[in-house]
Amino acid sequence: MDRPLTGLAAQIRDAALALGFVKVGFAPLEPFEEAGQRLAEWLASGYHGEMGYLAGEPRHEPRRLLEEARSLVVVALPWAPSAPRRPLPLEGLVARYAQGDDYHDVMRAKLRSLAERCAVLAGRPVLARPCVDSAPLLEGEAARLAGLGFIAKSTLLLIPGVGTQVVLGELLLDLELELDPPPPMEPRCGSCQACLHACPTSAFIGPYVLDARRCISYLTIELKGAVPRELRALVGTRVFGCDECQRVCPFNAAPERPSAAEFEPRPALATLDLVALLELGSAGYRKLVKKTALRRTNRERLVRNAAVALGNCGDPAAVPPLARALREHPSALVRGHAAWALSRHGGAAASDALQAARDDPDATVREEVAWALAALAAAPRAGG
């Protein structure tokens, strides 16, 4: 049960709830030493992959973000899962949280509104800094210390009664608040390991430890180069993020859950045409990602992801557009993944396209083509 708040803290909480936040708490400003040590060990293991920014500015010291800060408000904004359905063969999957408005914009706007309300409540101008996940702050730990929930085995914050399907935000304020911080919530996962077993790429080293280099969210969003060949088939038709570890969590099973209106799915993202994505131009890219979280990755990577997804879709209608991409796309990264995707389909048309690409001007593409041709040659023939 939440501890009662009084005075200005209670007024700030009520103002935050009125803005649509489903949970509000206050975290200490002292360094998160234990979490900082865990992050250092995780980084030392190399689990962060290309996300070098995580090793930059210390993320466990909130006051570095605002020296004048005297309090740290932590909030959660919910999104509800879509009704389950079977995707069409040439349809790409976008993680549910990214199907609506860009949560960075939504959260920052609401936090700025909360800061303005705090100034009114305090009766003076307030120095404030809103933070979303792009700020160097261990927001999951801040939320845990603020009493919002606990860190689940999936490494996500889990709010009892709400689940893991939330976006977190923080607001640093130069307001001194009288608070009695709640004791951090202990994990309630028990013996459940559903999230660990559901991960398509086996990205969990164990409970509470994720190797981001194998995570589909990392592979489709953060990774700049080639998706490791041994993981491509496991990505399926996902082109931006992955919902699997959250989909199976029992805490997310409530039939009716709160959801911010801004996160309602856009039709263009709820059903994404993989062939159109493979052939996406600059103007189409700008239109597709405008004011969405898909802006986090560039056009080349989205098209790369489309090639992988078309290789996994199981529909022979994917072969002609993949052959065109291998022959004509200006990006070597895309051509290389198109070659791999053609090897997944096989057949004379795929083989002919690969043979014609053996002299591609890029060495990495030639290597992918050689691998794909060898894979086709080694594949068992129908009726053989």
The verdict on whether 133 is a catalytic residue reads yes
Stated pTM of the model: 0.94
Q: Is the separation of the CB atoms in 210 and 224 below 8 Å?
A: no
The per-residue pLDDT for 383 is 44
The whole-angstrom separation of Cα 276 and Cα 145 is 45
pLDDT, tens only, 239-292: 999 999 999 999 998 767 788 999 999 999 988 999 999 999 999 999 999 999
pLDDT at 381: 65
Q: With CA atoms as reference, report the closest residue to 51 among 300, 331, 297, 335.
A: 297
Q: Calculate the CA 25 to chain-centre distance.
A: 24
14, 101, 105, 133: the active-site residue: 133
Q: Is 205 exposed, middle or buried (0-12, 13-18, 19+ CB in 10 A)?
A: middle
The sign one gets for the Cα dihedral 364, 202, 89, 348 is positive
Q: pLDDT at position 358, please?
A: 98
Question: For residue 260, what are the CA distances in angstroms to 25, 101, 106, 263?
Answer: 18, 10, 10, 6
pLDDT at 2: 58
- Count other C-beta atoms under 10 Å from residue 75's C-beta: 27
Distance CA 237, CA 156 (A): 23
pLDDT at 384: 41
In sign, the C-alpha dihedral spanning 248, 253, 255, 256 is negative
Euclidean distance between CA atoms 47 and 85, whole angstroms? 33
Question: What pLDDT is stored for residue 197 in this prediction?
Answer: 98
10-residue block means of pLDDT along the chain (384 residues)?
74 97 96 96 97 92 96 95 76 96 97 98 97 94 97 97 96 92 88 98 98 98 98 98 96 83 92 96 97 97 98 97 98 98 97 98 98 93 50
Instruction: Quick: pLDDT tens for 67-81.
Output: 999 999 999 999 988
Q: What are phi and psi of 163, to 5 degrees?
A: 105, -160
CA distance 72 to 130: 10
Q: Which residues contact 106 (CB under 8 A, 6 or more apart)?
A: 77, 167, 260, 262, 263
